[in-house]
Amino acid sequence: MRGINTSVNDLRRKVYAEVARLSYEYEDGDLQKKMPEIPYRVIPGEVSVYRDSVFLERAIVREKVRMAMGLPARTAAEEAPVYQGAEECVKPEKYYQPPLIDVIKFACHACPDNKIMVTEGCQGCLAHPCKEVCPKGAIEIKNGKSVIDESKCIKCGRCLSVCPYGAIIKLERPCAKACGMNAIKSDEYGRAEIDTEKCVSCGMCFANCPFGAITDKAQIFQLIQAIRSEVPVYAAIAPAATGQFGPDFTPEKMRPAFKALGFEDVVEVAIGADLCTIEEAKDFVNEVPDKLPFMATSCCPAWSVMAKKLFPEYANCISMALTPMVLTGRLIKKEHPGCLVAFIGPCAAKKLEASRKSIRSDIDFVLTFEEVMGMFEAKEVDFKSLPDDDTMHGASGDGRGFAVSGGVANAVVNCIHEMYPDKEIKVAAAEGLANCRKLLAQAKAGKYNGYLLEGMACPGGCIAGAGTIQPIAKSAASVAKHKAVSTNAHATASQYKELLEAIDETYKNKPE
């Protein structure tokens, strides 16, 4: 539902803006007084616009506020004030309480899952092919209409395929349908429940839940507290940011816009993408096929975690190259010792990546574009009125292209062609975790020996991440435009490549 301003998205952004405003204005003792006021500003008046009950809507907003501050969601059976545990969030070093993604149970619609049903479109035709093809005799004709006996139906879908009117449909729970890990199940009340052992935190479930019942935890409050401290905080901006904040947020406005939020300065993560490209190119040439049957890219954390969970015997085939986020964080901290770094990107899984012990010292905060939009609203930043700053240079077009599916592999291929002109490289790519699983299954069977495999958890790549705002096609066009004005075409021209070994060698094999 990216790019459509639904009531679900509207509520999320209002909550993020209120939490941001609370943090910017925070003084000791404010939480107990001001947190309870937020639901009444988000849902004003006596009549709910979104649900049957204004009280239910405010209760849901309370839990969204808690999760936006990194606190756990609660059930309807728990009695406690909204600010319970919130004082811990005053500390900039406070991280979210796991799990990262959770279900607000009393917001869940308990959607029917995997159910075949006959709609009013049934015309009661004479042929009734639906009945004829049903292998279990689950369809009868009653009062001239087809009726499915749920106790006999095996959900094979044959009736759907033969109905001449398309009057039979299959209902699937949207969150479960979007989950490529089959991590969504039902609790005893039929509500969605996330199997944390399977979940890789890609966020596709909350991006596709039409009731806004699933959400991820955030560090908005903590980040702003850090910005208000005396420690400089740098924003590391992912390549997918181009165009995310509307037409007035041009690349020339990026640095002034983030400085208006209180950041010390801004660095493009595409610079780190160039360094990642060089590392992956070297690894591929040195290890495939002599040491490894194939090599898979490392930049998408949901893809790499999925691969290690489901195909542990091929964990060593995932590139050991540090991700662009981490490389950029280390570059910033090498240049500005003692600073803090906030990664601003499209991805929920990056929050999980940054929580690893080996990464926590490099990336202090991770916020999505949607969460940062709440900060812009809280500060009332008018992009049009900001001065232009045309100093965001240094990244290659290929580095900026990491944001789009196929971009990582393309960057590595171009790098290999420049560094090793005689080296042949074959590529296979997949987007969406279900397709990524198929890709790795085929690789396991030997179909992709000698290949570079690119996996992107989100269909479309990073521009389709769970924390994005704009339509995917529009974002792809913005990235292409930004690539075209890059200083360099390929990663091999990066001015930072001489620092790669210095910042990376010490940490490369550090345990997670």
Does residue 147 sit in the same domain as residue 46? no
Does residue 321 sit in the same domain as residue 450? yes
Question: Is-contact 477 213, C-beta < 8 A?
Answer: no
Return the sign of the alpha-carbon dihedral for residues 142, 147, 153, 155: positive
Does residue 405 sit in the same domain as residue 349? yes
Backbone angles phi, psi at 364, to 5 degrees: -90, -30
* 449 within a domain of the structure (yes/no): yes
- 10 Å Cβ neighbour count for 119? 12
Q: Which residues of 409-439 are buried (b: 16+ CB within 10 A; e: fewer)?
A: bbbbbbbbbeeeeeeebebbbbbbbbbbbeb
Does residue 209 sit in the same domain as residue 242? no
* 512 within a domain of the structure (yes/no): no
Domain's final residue, options 130, 147, 171 = 171
Question: What's the confidence (pLDDT) of residue 498?
Answer: 74
Q: Using CA atoms, how far apart are residues 233 and 409, in angstroms rounded to an integer? A: 32
Does residue 308 sit in the same domain as residue 450? yes
- 10 Å Cβ neighbour count for 308? 14
- Residue 100 CA to chain centroid, in angstroms? 12
Does residue 276 sit in the same domain as residue 205? no
Question: Average pLDDT per run of 10 along the chain, which is 512 residues long?
Answer: 83 97 92 95 92 94 95 90 86 78 96 92 95 96 93 94 96 95 95 96 96 96 95 97 94 96 97 95 94 95 96 95 95 94 97 88 95 98 94 91 97 95 93 97 97 97 96 95 92 83 55 45
Does residue 40 sit in the same domain as residue 102? yes
- Residue 30 CA to chain centroid, in angstroms? 31
Q: How far is CA 183 from CA 67, 108, 112, in A?
A: 20, 16, 16
- The dihedral region occupied by 270, where left means phi > 0, alpha psi between -120 and 50, and beta the remainder, is alpha
* 427 within a domain of the structure (yes/no): yes
Domain's final residue, options 163, 197, 221 = 221
| 3-state helix, strand and coil shares in percent for the chain, rounded to the nearest 5 | 45, 10, 45
What domain count does the chain have?
3
Q: Using CA atoms, how far apart are residues 8 and 14, in angstroms rounded to an integer? A: 10
**pTM, to two decimals:** 0.93
Closest Cα partner for 81 from 34, 14, 116? 34
* 509 within a domain of the structure (yes/no): no
Does residue 197 sit in the same domain as residue 324? no
Question: What's the confidence (pLDDT) of residue 387?
Answer: 95
* 2 within a domain of the structure (yes/no): no
* 330 within a domain of the structure (yes/no): yes
Question: What's the confidence (pLDDT) of residue 501?
Answer: 67
Question: Is-contact 67 213, C-beta < 8 A?
Answer: no
Domain's final residue, options 171, 189, 210 = 171
CATH number where 324 lies: 3.40.950.10
Does residue 157 sit in the same domain as residue 281? no
* 146 within a domain of the structure (yes/no): yes
Residue given tokens 């996996």 in the structure block: 455
Compute the radius of gyration of the chain from its Cα atoms. 25
Q: Which domain, by its residues, includes 152?
A: 115-171
What is the DSSP code string of 104-149?
-GGG------SEEEE-TT----SS-HHHHH-TT--EEEETTEEEE-
Does residue 392 sit in the same domain as residue 434? yes
Does residue 266 sit in the same domain as residue 405? yes
Closest Cα partner for 177 from 214, 152, 150? 214
Question: Is-contact 118 148, C-beta < 8 A?
Answer: yes
Backbone angles phi, psi at 171, to 5 degrees: -90, 130
Does residue 351 sit in the same domain as residue 244? yes
- Residue 482 CA to chain centroid, in angstroms? 21
CATH number where 21 lies: 3.30.70.20
Q: Using CA atoms, how far apart are residues 131 and 256, in angstroms rounded to an integer? A: 65
* 511 within a domain of the structure (yes/no): no
Q: Using CA atoms, how far apart are residues 379 and 370, in angstroms rounded to an integer? A: 15
